[in-house]
Structure 1
Amino acid sequence: MTQKQPVVTYRELTAADHTAVIELGNRVHGDNYLTEENLADYVERGQLNGVNLNWLAFVDGELAGIRLTFAPGKWDIDAYCTPTKWPVAPEHMCYFKCAAVAEISRGLGVGRGLLERSTAAAQQLGCKAGLAHIWMQSPNNSAYSYFTRCGGAMVNEHPDRWYELSVHGGYHCPVCDGICHCTAGEMILRFDT
């Protein structure tokens, strides 16, 4: 007897998906990583001129992955950014805010499929690259491995990237068991090469 291959489908995120997106994001990244308030902000930042950069993946009809991406000009260059090392100007870059893939669907290409769709949407807005702060302490360093395989290049590393969020925002890091001291890898993915 042969086992049925899972069916993977993709579509843009809608308001009806918020509860499931928050649940999956928090299951992967830790409690209070996504909330109703910050997700509403992220969704707004991911839309520009009728283009939606936020995508979802489903495996056999169940939510299996999320990719939240901010449109160019709708994200902040903060102390964890090194624009002098970026290959393109910020106005030509999107920001890959968050990705989460359910454990049961890993290995099906869901992460790459979400990234490709978000990247294609960003290119419609004139983006030539995207910036991400990759969670370097993700289990088995899977976030770094995945983003590198997709073509991402390291620009800089930032210790304690999510410390303030864990102290003042209620975020509970699953690796640090509370107050987060994880490092973010500032990585760039070029679209125009």
Structure 2
Amino acid sequence: MTAANLNSVKYLPLAPEHFADVIRLGNEVQGENYLMPDTLKAMYDKSWHNNINASLVSYCGNDIVGFRITYAHSQWQCDKWCSPELWPVAPEKVCYFKCNTVSPAMQGVGIGSTLLAKSVSAAKAQGAEAGLAHIWLSSPGNSAFKYFSKNGGELIKKHPNKWRYESIHEGYDCPVCPETCECEGAEMLLRFS
């Protein structure tokens, strides 16, 4: 990608008119049934606090090239994959970075980092002091962990079989596991300071 093309990438708050493109890209990159219309709508609703949306999409021309879905700090709750006793920030001040996807043809040029920075800015305006993510440790070349670490994410804890339930009960088709997903997830926290 040339610098001129990179300058033509637009970053927009996620809106319902983007849903079909987000679902297509998410399923193409992350595996079939990674996103579905009803689950994406629920995610979108969790993006909002004080009339601020923390989720974004990026387009180059008419083509979606990336998205980041972030739950506002007031719109999600810890589950068994969270270790709030290990976090250096009060749990009620932590947003949740639900998912991030960049088109393979556009990876490595800063789109993911820009989406993250814009999402952090919105989450801070919503009142969050940090963001939590569960990073897929089986991404090609462990790129997800490297990307999130490069942007300031700190490893809190590793969780075996993080997406097993989704694989068995929700139809998620992991792109690396031949049958049931056995991928490990890294619970990571990004402090906004």
TM-score by length of 1: 0.95
Kindly report which structure 2 residues correspond to 1:159-170, keeping only aligned pairs within 5 A, or say none: 159-170=160-171
SS at match of 1:78: coil
Q: Which moved more, 1:72-81 or 1:95-104?
A: 72-81
SS at match of 2:79: coil
Moved more, 97-106 or 53-62: 53-62
User: Counterpart amino acid of 2:13?
Assistant: E
Other-structure match for 1:190? 191
Q: Secondary structure at the match of 1:154?
A: strand
> By how many angstroms is 1:108 displaced?
1.8
Secondary structure of the residue that 1:117 maps to in structure 2? Answer: helix
- Using the TM superposition, give the Cα deviation of residue 122 of structure 1 relative to its aligned residue in structure 2, in angstroms: 0.4
SS in 2 for 1:5: helix
2:52 alignment partner in structure 1: 51
Residue of structure 1 in register with 2:149 after alignment: 148
CA contact (8 A) 1:93 1:131 kept: yes
Counting only pairs closer than 5 Å after superposition, residues 30-45 of structure 1 correspond to structure 2 as 30-45=31-46
Letter in 2 for 1:51: I
Q: How many residues align?
A: 190
Q: For residues 178 and 63 of structure 1, what CA distance do their matches in structure 2 show?
A: 29
Contact 1:59 1:105 in 2 (8 A): no
Aligned counterparts of 2:3 and 2:41: Cα–Cα separation in 1: 37
List runs of 5+ in structure 2 lacking aligned partners. Answer: none
Q: Tell me the distance in 2 between the aligned counterparts of 1:144 and 1:134.
A: 6
* Partner deviation per Cα, 1:123-153 (whole Å, 9 max, x = no partner): 0111110000000001110100000000000
Paired amino acid for 2:152: G
Contact preservation (8 Å) 2:49, 2:74: no
Partners of 2:179 and 2:106 lie apart in 1 by: 27
Change (3 A) 1:49 1:4: closer
Corresponding residue of 2:18 = 17
Identify the residue that residue 134 of structure 2 maps to in structure 1. 133
SS in 2 for 1:31: coil
Q: Whole-Å Cα distance in 2 between the matches of residues 101 and 116 of structure 1? A: 14
